Amino acid sequence: MITRLYKEFNKVFDSNDDIRVYFAPGRVNLIGEHTDYNGGHVFPCALTLGTYAAVKDRTDDKICFYSMTFADDGIIETGISDLHPSAADGWTNYPKGVIWAYEKRGMKLTHGMDILIYGNIPNGSGLSSSASLEVLTGLILKDTFGFESVSMVDIALIGQDAENNFNGCNCGIMDQFASAMGKKSHAIFLDTNTLNYEYAPVKLKDAQIIITNSNVKHSLVDSAYNDRRRDCENALKILQKTCGIRTLGDLSEEQFEDAKTALSDPVLYKRAKHAVYENQRTIRAKNALQNNDIPLFGKLMNDSHTSLRDDYEVSCTEVDYLVELAWKLPQVLGSRITGGGFGGCTVSIVETAAAEIFQENLRKAYQEKFGLNAEFYLADIDNGARRLL
């Protein structure tokens, strides 16, 4: 990979002396979906799939971006003090947003850079390619300009700030946190209310994680995401009249059952129910994994899917079908939609000996029903963002 980056850098920028190479992973969330903006827990792991950058300092004030993934866009230039979101700047709004978020915190760039990007995360599939690009940029800036006081958790927060306030996507902290803080062979049990976290070894005995990409992306993603956030905020306001809570994640299932009559709107009730129950499921799932109870872990994943499908209503026919196909196989311990929803990927725990059968079975049935090609990634859990060279 690094040789390829060097070669491409030379082609695009005419020289590859003194370049530095960085990597930030994508992530898959095992359980705890749509809980990260509700003060709940999440349980993601960083992947070996991710985004790479080759970087060379410039003596002037220009940043010249080039992505092998968006080669048709060519080099996109920005001045280091000229940071405004602009549709014409395409994908570079993500790294620009990170520079903007550093500047907001009083950390200014003192010179420009040539930055070449390559990524192997399928974009828009729920594996967080945008967060990995943000965390990657955060790491490049920390390393290049010696911003020693910036921790990896700060890099995650800066990335989220860039995504929320520069790019207008109101995401929670999970994606950037997983990319910045991932640990090989471990999932991160993160309390999004306090940012306290704990690593849990992912030991699945004779099973493995398989990610299935439905290769569909429905257009409602952004608007539906904002609707869900608003529904949850409204439900929280109503519940706060009777319960002393800061977030939906503060409620146990019993407390929610006692308070739920206040939610007379059935939609608000369903959204809040998902947020509360999914958070409790995530806590149980972490314990199940630590107790080596993989069947219970799998069952909680299945329950998570049902809740996302019926109560949170963020699944879609294609993804439901992939999950149902997985559920029918006795070698599958658990399967659910992962990521924001309305398409994208599923995550399944599959007996290793049946990995091939799983893929064949889903590929064939999915193709027959929707004429679509499902893609599979055998997830390897890797460390968080780092400098490679």
- The footprint of ligand ADP (CB under 6 A) covers 51, 67, 69-70, 91, 94, 117, 119, 123-131, 133
Q: What angle do CA 330, 336, 337 make, to 5 degrees?
A: 145
Q: Which does 51 bind (CB under 5 to 8 A by kind): Mg ion, ligand ADP, none?
A: ligand ADP
Compare residues 70 and 327 and give the one whose CB is closer to ligand ADP.
70
CB of 278 to Mg ion, least distance (A): 20
Q: Which does 179 bind (CB under 5 to 8 A by kind): ligand ADP, Mg ion, none?
A: none
**Site for Mg ion (CB under 5 A): which residue of 67, 92, 93, 130?**
130
Q: Which does 67 bind (CB under 5 to 8 A by kind): Mg ion, ligand ADP, none?
A: ligand ADP
- 207-217 sheet: strands from edge to edge: 332-338, 343-351, 207-217, 375-378
Span interacting with Mg ion, options 28-36, 123-131, 306-314, 371-379, rule CB under 5 A: 123-131
Is 214 near Mg ion (CB under 5 A)? no
CB of 269 to Mg ion, least distance (A): 29
Residue nearest to Mg ion (CB): 130
Compare residues 6 and 70 and give the one whose CB is closer to ligand ADP.
70
Residue nearest to ligand ADP (CB): 119
**Within 10 A of 155 (CB to CB), how many other CB atoms are there?**
30
- 62-67 sheet: strands from edge to edge: 76-79, 62-67, 113-119, 44-57, 20-29, 386-387
From residue 17 to residue 56, what is the string marking binding to Mg ion with x (rule CB under 5 A)?
A: ----------------------------------------
Compare residues 69 and 287 and give the one whose CB is closer to ligand ADP.
69
Nearest in space to 107 (alpha carbons), one of 76, 71, 150? 150
CB of 60 to ligand ADP, least distance (A): 23
CB of 72 to Mg ion, least distance (A): 21
CB of 117 to ligand ADP, least distance (A): 4
Compare residues 91 and 321 and give the one whose CB is closer to ligand ADP.
91
Sign of the dihedral defined by the CA atoms of residues 42, 45, 46, 49, in that order: negative
CB of 279 to ligand ADP, least distance (A): 22
- Straight-line distance from the first to the last Cα atom of the chain, in angstroms, rounded to the nearest whole number: 12
Cβ distance 333 to 60 under 8 Å? no
- 41-42 sheet: strands from edge to edge: 41-42, 186-191, 197-201
Compare residues 29 and 280 and give the one whose CB is closer to Mg ion.
29
Q: Which does 124 bind (CB under 5 to 8 A by kind): ligand ADP, Mg ion, none?
A: ligand ADP
User: Could you identify the residue written with the tokens 């082609």?
Assistant: 11
Pairwise CA distance, residues 195 & 174, whole Å: 10
Span interacting with Mg ion, options 20-28, 76-84, 126-134, 358-366, rule CB under 5 A: 126-134
Q: Which does 35 bind (CB under 5 to 8 A by kind): Mg ion, ligand ADP, none?
A: none
Span interacting with Mg ion, options 95-103, 124-132, 176-184, 362-370, rule CB under 5 A: 124-132
Cβ distance 5 to 118 under 8 Å? yes
- Cα atoms found within 13 Å of the Cα of residue 354, Cβ hemisphere only: 16
Compare residues 298 and 339 and give the one whose CB is closer to Mg ion.
339
Compare residues 45 and 117 and give the one whose CB is closer to ligand ADP.
117
Give me the residues that bind Mg ion (CB under 5 A), please. 130
